[in-house]
Structure 1
């Protein structure tokens, strides 16, 4: 089994433990700002919980995601008739029912992007009452939620839809915070060979934001440690990251800058254009001296000696 470092392994273990403890009655939800590794941690935890990657199915909610896609809906068949088609949840739930000796996970990315009450429907109640069947809207067939099926999810707590979650929905979640983590940042970047001085400076960026915005840090930090996952070289990677991503998270047209902007700009030296291009290699000085025999290409030495 691959190990991902002490801090990352601790978070993965926390999620697995929550699935063990509450996966039969609640949605296990990882909440964190973009770039905190929620998806990575959730995916690894799901595979470890099931002991089999093929027993994990991943989907992503979005604004137009519907009950018909998730539970069941109507589709036209080839003869212009209408048939009832099970959605993603009912398909995966049925597989779990037919295979009761193994654990199944449905991993939902961006949980709060969809209209949850509309998408989940009856599931809102019957996730925690799995011994009681519910009747679906279209097929009118009784369905029980499999006891060996766990719903694992990720979401950004600052999304408007997440802020508007009602207490009935929150009560059905077991929320695990996934904040920006300097230790996970260090583990991630040390494996890439990035200079320790640079890693330390990036860690200080996060610590400075935490120190100045202690109560708001975990929920309002505009990005997490995962934003730096692709950094391999200080120059020009960190300048490009600023120009192409970070500045757009802080300053957007027609709206106020992010509250952390001043602190981040102060602690991110790679904003400066001097970090855009690596320093050129020094050129060798030209020489007019004739090469010695040891410096000649193969064959040239023999020719020179023969000419003598």
Structure 2
């Protein structure tokens, strides 16, 4: 099993532990701003928890994702008739029911982008009470949620849809927080850049955490993952600023991000593609 470094392994292990303790009753939800390694850690943790990559199914929610796609819906068949077709969840749930000795995982990216109350439907109750069946809307058959099926989800807590989550759903989540991490940044970059460059990048996160306190975790405009593609100090860090970071801080007709002045002061590569520490 590959080791990703102390801080990264700790993040992965926190998800695996949550799955083991609470996955039979709750959705294991990983919350963090973009670039905090949620998707990476979720994928690794899901595979470790299940013990087999083929027992993990990954999907992504979006604004038009529906109950019919997730639970079950009506489709026109080859005879031009209408038939009931299981959605992603019922299909994966049935595989888990047929194979009770192994752990199955459904990994949902961008969890809060969908209309969750509508998409999840009866699961809002029956994920928690798996000894009781629910009656599906279209096939009208009793369905049990498999005890060996765990749902893992990722989301950005600052998305409007996440802020609007109701209490009934939040009660069914086990939320594992993912913060921007200087330690994970160092492990991610490895020897691709000199140590003094890594220290300077880490300083961006540490100074923002000191300056903005509790707001740091939820309002930091990017996580350490924004530097994942950096291969060399120059010109990569300058191009990253011009092509990505600057646009996260300053947008036309919108007030600058509240962290902008601090980040600009701590990012010396923004001025020139030839700058080196």
TM-score band (shorter)?
Answer: over 0.9
Corresponding residue of 1:241: 240
The root-mean-square deviation of aligned C-alpha atoms, in Å, is: 1.0
Partner of 2:193: 194
Structure 1: gaps spanning 5 or more residues: 279-308
Displacement of 1:275 in angstroms is 3.0
Structure 2 residue aligned with 1:225: 224
User: By how many angstroms is 1:193 displaced?
Assistant: 2.7
Structure 1 distance, partners of 2:72, 2:58, is 18
Show CA shifts across 1:118-144 (max 9, x none).
000000000000000000100001000
Task: Give the secondary-structure state (helix, strand or coil) at the position aligned to 1:84.
Answer: strand
Match of 2:124 in 1: 124
Rg: which structure is higher?
A: 1
Corresponding residue number in structure 1 for 2:258: 259
Contact 2:239 2:273 survives alignment (8 Å):
no
* Residue in structure 2 matched with residue 89 of structure 1 by the alignment: 89
TM-score (norm: length of structure 1): 0.88
Q: 1:273: how far off?
A: 2.3
1:256 and 1:21, CA in 2 relative to 1: closer, same or farther beyond 3 A? same
Distance 1:34 1:187 in 2: 18
Structure-1 separation of matches of 2:253 and 2:144 = 50
Give the Cα–Cα distance (whole angstroms) in 1 for the partners of residues 3 and 158 of structure 2: 31
| Distance apart, 1:197 and its partner CA | 0.7
Determine if the alignment matches structure 1 residue 15 to structure 2 residue 8. Answer: no
TM-score scaled by structure 2? 0.98
What is the distance in 1 between the residues matched to 2:273 and 2:142?
66
Q: C-alpha offsets along residues 146-188 of structure 1, whole Å, 9 cap, x if unaligned?
A: 0000000000000000000011110000000001011001111
Query: Once superposed, which parts of structure 1, at least 4 consecutive aligned residues long, lie more than 2 Å away?
Result: 273-276
Which position in structure 1 is the counterpart of 2:166? 166
Offset at residue 253 of structure 1 (A) = 1.2
Paired residue for 1:108?
Answer: 108
Q: Is the 8 A contact 2:30 2:175 kept in 1?
A: yes
Aligned residues: 276
Determine the C-alpha separation between the residues in 2 that align with 1:13 and 1:7.
Answer: 10
**Displacement after TM superposition at 1:274 (Å):** 4.3
Relative CO higher for 1 or 2, CA cutoff 8 Å, sep ≥ 6? 2
Shift of 1:80: 1.5
Structure 2, unaligned stretches of length 5 or more? none
How far, CA to CA, are the matches of 1:119 and 1:152 in structure 2? 16
